[in-house]
Structure 1
Amino acid sequence: MKKTALLIFVFMLIAFLVACNDNGNQFDTKGEQEKATNVMKGVLTSFKNEEKLAETGTSEEANQIAWKKIKEKNIKAISKELSKEDQKRLLYLLTTNKAEDLPNGGTQANLLFSQDTTIQKVSFHESSKTFTFDIERSGFDRKLVTLKQEESSWKIFKIENPK
């Protein structure tokens, strides 16, 4: 009788521990979406609206200067795996070029940070455990920004044009 009671107790204890362990491994989609959304909103508002990020003779130079500032300010939110093409797409999403004509006939590139972006929709991809944000810029242009978890935080790792 004592052996049976002990066996039942051990079985119930094991079942309880297994149940607790399984709950700890579940992905909390709602909580993780909130964290990923906070990261995305942080990047979209990381500078003041129309804050000058770069002012130089060519837009290529301005892009390099502005990207360096954006990357430094958002180092925890941008994946090291982000491709050069995706860096350009993110830069385009976050900036506006207000070129000025110079008295000598040339032009000067002025890259300004733009907060004229809105998150339209967020999708969760179960297989890859990633979130994709459909972001609209200036009311007409859209990009799909995908975040994945790296080093226990959400990071931007891919930017695409919608199909």
Structure 2
Amino acid sequence: MSIVFQEFQDDELVYQYADFDVDNTSYTIAFTKMLEGMLDFDEMILRITQGKLTYSIEFTLSEIYYDENYRGELYLPPKNHRFTKSKYEALKTQLFSLIFAHYQRYNPECYLIVADRLSLQKMYQKMCEFRSEQFIRFKPIMGLGQNGECFLILTPTVQEVIC
């Protein structure tokens, strides 16, 4: 899989995004460079990420991501989706590959993922618990946020974190 990141800047916000397919469904993953003040919603997250290059990660259906007029839920599952274990594994593998490629290119210290719904929270939890071989040196911190919906992934670039 050849990964091509597109870059976009909107005032001070910097984004990188890439498209990918799983089971004939097109998705887009977006990485947003977090600015000062964007992580103030959670004291623990703020303390861990303070002074560190941090990106948020989001992925959604490409048709939603590219539709400037879309006003519905951003993180809907595909219509008529039936996520079997093999489809989930394929999605997880793609997400890991994209995150790792982003890390290699942009070298952030932390990633933040916020689960918009319970099914995503469970998926991210499983991804953090059962990491691929290339992610062994990455440290997930789970259960952050008001309802445990926030996940931090500390990259090998971070040498020491005080929790």
Normalising to structure 2: TM-score of the pair? 0.27
Between Structure 1 and Structure 2, the one with more helix by share is 1
Larger radius of gyration: 1
Normalising to structure 1: TM-score of the pair? 0.27
